Structure 1
Amino acid sequence: CSTPELSFLVRYKQCSCGIMVTASHNPPSDNAVKVYWSTGGQILPPHDQAIIERVMNVQEIRREDFQTAVGDGRVVICTEESNAAFVQAVVALRLPGPRDLKVIYSPLHGVGASAVCPVLQADGFTDVEVFELHREPNGQFPNVPGHVSNPENPKVFEAIIERAREINADLILATDPDADRMGCAAPLTLAADAPWATLTGNQLGSLLVDFVLENMSGLTPDHYLVKTLVTSEMIRRIGESYGVRTYGDLLVGFKWIGGTMDDVGPDRFVLGLEESHGYLMGQHVRDKDGAVACMLMAELAAAAKAAGKSVHEKLDDLYWQHGYHSEAQVNLFMEGSEGMTRIKALMQLVREKPPSTLAGMKVAAVRDYGSGQRRVTGGQVEPLVGPTGDMVMLDLAEPGNYVAVRPSGTEPKVKFYTFAFVPAEHLADLEQTKVDVQQRLEQLETELRALADQV
């Protein structure tokens, strides 16, 4: 089953915990465990460290025959029951609107078809084709470029787009192998010969937030969105236009979004999202859910089609209303013990001696989430409200433009997140703005790579 289905199962059966063995979009050699607490969310402090300490103190691992355990009732297989209840819980979240849409869905050699396909069918989407080359569950990901089934990667969609053109599809949806993240490609316009393009995690999140809020009734100031610090601030701006709050001072990882749901209370929760293509609507799980994301994206695309627009054109409408937002990532791999030393040195350099300018913009302040301080250029130091973690953010002089830097928690690399923003009132030519902002992001990447070369 998928990871969101395990989160659901923990809550549905009132389990003490849940354990999933998965490498997600990575090869089998990267297999590890995701551990879910009784809330259905991935473990948070202090439980994470306590579990690690218990594991490190294990003296013996006892083995039991699986079939014997099933026979005497110590293992109960409830896959069919739980999966049916999961699909029912997801479909209960459907929003009204047209369902005239031709969809190609790819599970990227993972398990997503068992959840996504019945959800789309039950929601009224009857014209759904599973992309044949990616249908078979296979941890080697044989038919995916680079053998990495990551829906963030536009190359993953190239072969699917060819098929979409052949059958005149309207939308491509894909989930990563454990089906907790969603990626998407769509034609730029509704013209028959229109070129296709993928959408980033932030773009999909912005579209979904606006679509869900537009179709919800009874919104109050107590309703809220949840996002991470490295997810686009366009989410907050869209939320504000509908009068709802956004909790956005969260470290990277959907576990913090699930934890916020429980801390604030789930009854007024609208949507949780992160830039790495993780989305959640509803209270049925406490983790990102590729099935509900696919359902909402299909509904959104069908509504846009009925209005004579592509999802890309719908996104442009949001830019005109809320300003143009664009983001990029720079991943710098630093492997081995020497790489670990370089990563620490780079984080120290960004904290203590950040560049004075980036892409022609003055670095106005440094937000250090490790020390809990915000240092304004010129020396003033003030407390930083937010979580504690190994991340630094550089605020640039133009509001809405900034850079986040953090070491990866799972791979030997440093991640730079770059954010650009042009207010709606400054937009005259959207297409030219896109070109100008792309050049800005490329300049930021060049200068950040040069900064990393100093260590």
Structure 2
Amino acid sequence: MNNIDQATQQRIQQWLSTEYDEATVAQVQQLIDNNEETELLDSFYKELEFGTGGLRGIMGVGSNRMNKYTIGKATQGLANYLKKQFPDQPIKVAVSYDSRNNSQQFGHLVADVFSANGIHVYLFKELRPTPMLSFAVRHFECQGGVMLTASHNPKEYNGYKAYWNDGGQLVAPHDKNVITEVNAIQSVAEIRFDRVADNITLIDESFDDLYVNANQGLSIHPEAVLAQKDLKIVYSSIHGTGITIVPKMLKAWGFENVHLVEEQATPDGNFPTVIYPNPEEEEAMSKAKQKGQEIDADVVMATDPDADRVGLAVKNRKGEMQLLNGNQIGSLLIFYVLSSKAEQATLQKNDFIVKTIVTSNLMTDISSGFGVKHYETLTGFKFIGEVMTRLEGQENYLVGGEESYGFLVGDLVRDKDAVNACAFIAEMAAYFKSQGKTLFDVLLDIYGTYGFYQEKLISLTKKGKAGAEEIKQMMADLRANPPQTLGGIQVKEIRDYQAQRSYVIADDSQTSIDLPKSDVLQFITVDGDVISARPSGTEPKIKFYCSVKEQLTAADAYEHVSAKLEEKVKNIMADIVKD
């Protein structure tokens, strides 16, 4: 281990002690015996930390891996923090898990540790989606909650999403404070693993009805669903939790013609039919899209393993199933909710929508068009949830979304909810079909009114310690030598969310950015194009976002304008994405 720093070697030696079980010690020793220095370094060079999605990593032995001890330590730290924050009251938490390998085992482990700390646990008896965990935290008036999932990451990953008493994921100061509590645990002996059965209540299937009925109460146009109950819907759960609740939700809303992608309907942590279980990926949507083409579906939907993200394909003007991106899906939902409420004269002065800083400005253009206030947050739906909680009782949240396929209509939970979104996408399709329009037709109408936005995301994967350092250097280089032009277009403004400052290049003027510090850079061109760079908080990636805009004067011009914008995006990205 000559090339491994001393601090990392100390962590490795600690994991060889008798504090750890024999199987764990044997696995660490095998890595040493096989001289697997890169794996040892990546497994032990740091402690797992909370990012935009909580605790997330590759499963295996080590302080930087998802395993019994890192999860136990995180749970003990969270338990200690909850006790300090709520000293004079009985503490309750909710725990759920998805279909990933070890998720159920990890979920029971989390319940054991909480119960051993005298905390009452509401544990889902079977796998259920992330939004249902958020709903359970609020329903049972818990002080916290934990969801075991790595969302849409590859199969070798698992994760741990921690929730606060509002049903939202941990945000400042609680996220950092929990890390402090976790880091204060110096020994495995401080982790209470011994289950106290009396402190655990199982949540059974009857809870599904509470969640479904509450969502059904949000329906805007039930008459449209009744008129279009035979709407052809294809749905895939991509081997995840969605299969437990999305078909129930669609049936309860009145849809009678739902076709499942059967080969992806069985929960399976190996995700055997896809490369990545991520509805953002065209490959992951391919089976659902193919089935949709075969039966001439009106909408094709697929959710990720923990059912908080949804992908969508709709019929284009040629009658082909066309995938929509997260910006397009979110814009359609916002337009549907706001236009319907405007039509029903139920919009209120204190209504608002929320989006993240890397999400299309089309959403804010739509809200402005209806005179509805909008808020912007940092990347991560937990920040949208934070705005909802902060404004609760003062202003009225309607709908929000982010480009990474996360949406929420109504305020039943404080996280993105693909189950809720599936129901509203289906209702939206039914409503517009009653008017003789497909969702693609409506999207073109939106472009004609507010401008044709085209966006692209490029992600570069940089694994391990070396990758993390490379990503850090890439961001440092962009700050030290920001581009003056992108795609031949002059950069007008630079927004540095780490420095919380916006710089206008022409006159060197500065304004402050009223958001928490975050490692994000944005470059705005004289054309109004927005190009963003940020390291992912949940994956070993650096992400580059590009959004460009042009007027769409006629629906027939869609393909021509789209090709023109695609070329513009290509040229811009070539100047900023250096692999």
TM-score range, shorter chain: over 0.9
2:435 matched to 1:313? no
Which residue identity is paired with 2:145? G
The answer (yes or no) to whether the contact 2:409–2:420 under 8 Å persists in 1 is: yes
Instruction: Give, in whole Å, the separation in 2 of the partners of 1:347 and 1:379.
Output: 24
Instruction: Give, in whole Å, the separation in 2 of the partners of 1:133 and 1:61.
Output: 41
Q: Are residues 283 and 389 of structure 1, via their aligned partners in 2, closer, same or farther at CA, if it must alter by over 3 Å?
A: same
Equivalent in the alignment of 1:407: 535
2:224 matched to 1:98? yes
Matched-pair identity in %: 36
The answer (yes or no) to whether the contact 2:444–2:555 under 8 Å persists in 1 is: no
Which segments of 5 or more consecutive residues in structure 1 lack a partner in the other structure? none
Equivalent in the alignment of 1:420: 548
Aligned residues: 439
The answer (yes or no) to whether the contact 1:116–1:291 under 8 Å persists in 2 is: yes
How big is the alpha-carbon RMSD for the aligned residues of Structure 1 and Structure 2?
Answer: 1.8
Equivalent in the alignment of 2:261: 131
Equivalent in the alignment of 2:102: none
Instruction: Give, in whole Å, the separation in 2 of the partners of 1:29 and 1:156.
Output: 17
Which residue identity is paired with 2:500? G
Q: State TM-score, norm by structure 1.
A: 0.92
The answer (yes or no) to whether the contact 2:288–2:301 under 8 Å persists in 1 is: no
1:207 paired residue among 332, 349, 366: 332
2:382 matched to 1:255? yes
Using the TM superposition, give the Cα deviation of residue 13 of structure 1 relative to its aligned residue in structure 2, in angstroms: 0.2
SS in structure 2 opposite 1:112? helix
Which segments of 5 or more consecutive residues in structure 2 lack a partner in the other structure? 1-127
Equivalent in the alignment of 1:118: 248
Instruction: Give, in whole Å, the separation in 1 of the partners of 2:398 and 2:332.
Output: 14
The answer (yes or no) to whether the contact 1:373–1:381 under 8 Å persists in 2 is: no
Q: State TM-score, norm by structure 2.
A: 0.73
Which digits, 9 at most, give the CA deviation of each residue in 1:150-196, with x for residues without a partner?
Answer: 0111222222222223333221111111011111111114x7xx211
The answer (yes or no) to whether the contact 2:292–2:321 under 8 Å persists in 1 is: no
Using the TM superposition, give the Cα deviation of residue 331 of structure 1 relative to its aligned residue in structure 2, in angstroms: 1.1
Q: Are residues 274 and 349 of structure 1, via their aligned partners in 2, closer, same or farther at CA, if it must alter by over 3 Å?
A: same
The answer (yes or no) to whether the contact 1:365–1:374 under 8 Å persists in 2 is: yes
The answer (yes or no) to whether the contact 1:367–1:384 under 8 Å persists in 2 is: no
Instruction: Give, in whole Å, the separation in 1 of the partners of 2:431 and 2:346.
Output: 21
Equivalent in the alignment of 2:412: 284
Q: Are residues 234 and 93 of structure 1, via their aligned partners in 2, closer, same or farther at CA, if it must alter by over 3 Å?
A: same
Instruction: Give, in whole Å, the separation in 2 of the partners of 1:187 and 1:438.
Output: 21
Using the TM superposition, give the Cα deviation of residue 426 of structure 1 relative to its aligned residue in structure 2, in angstroms: 11
Q: Which has the higher contact order (CA 8 A, sep 6+)?
A: 1
Instruction: Give, in whole Å, the separation in 1 of the partners of 2:381 and 2:288.
Output: 28
2:184 matched to 1:57? yes
Which residue identity is paired with 1:186? V
2:370 matched to 1:242? yes
Equivalent in the alignment of 2:524: 395
Equivalent in the alignment of 2:558: 430
The answer (yes or no) to whether the contact 2:458–2:544 under 8 Å persists in 1 is: yes
Please tell me whether Structure 1 or Structure 2 has the larger radius of gyration of its CA atoms: 2
Using the TM superposition, give the Cα deviation of residue 370 of structure 1 relative to its aligned residue in structure 2, in angstroms: 0.9
Equivalent in the alignment of 2:204: 79
Using the TM superposition, give the Cα deviation of residue 342 of structure 1 relative to its aligned residue in structure 2, in angstroms: 2.5
Equivalent in the alignment of 1:37: 164
Q: Are residues 197 and 30 of structure 1, via their aligned partners in 2, closer, same or farther at CA, if it must alter by over 3 Å?
A: same
The answer (yes or no) to whether the contact 1:369–1:384 under 8 Å persists in 2 is: no
Equivalent in the alignment of 2:286: 158
The answer (yes or no) to whether the contact 2:293–2:320 under 8 Å persists in 1 is: no
2:454 matched to 1:329? no
Instruction: Give, in whole Å, the separation in 1 of the partners of 2:261 and 2:469.
Output: 44
Instruction: Give, in whole Å, the separation in 2 of the partners of 1:339 and 1:182.
Output: 29
Q: Are residues 426 and 341 of structure 1, via their aligned partners in 2, closer, same or farther at CA, if it must alter by over 3 Å?
A: farther
The answer (yes or no) to whether the contact 1:134–1:143 under 8 Å persists in 2 is: yes
Which residue identity is paired with 2:213? Q
Instruction: Give, in whole Å, the separation in 2 of the partners of 1:27 and 1:208.
Output: 28
Equivalent in the alignment of 1:271: 399
SS in structure 1 opposite 2:205? helix
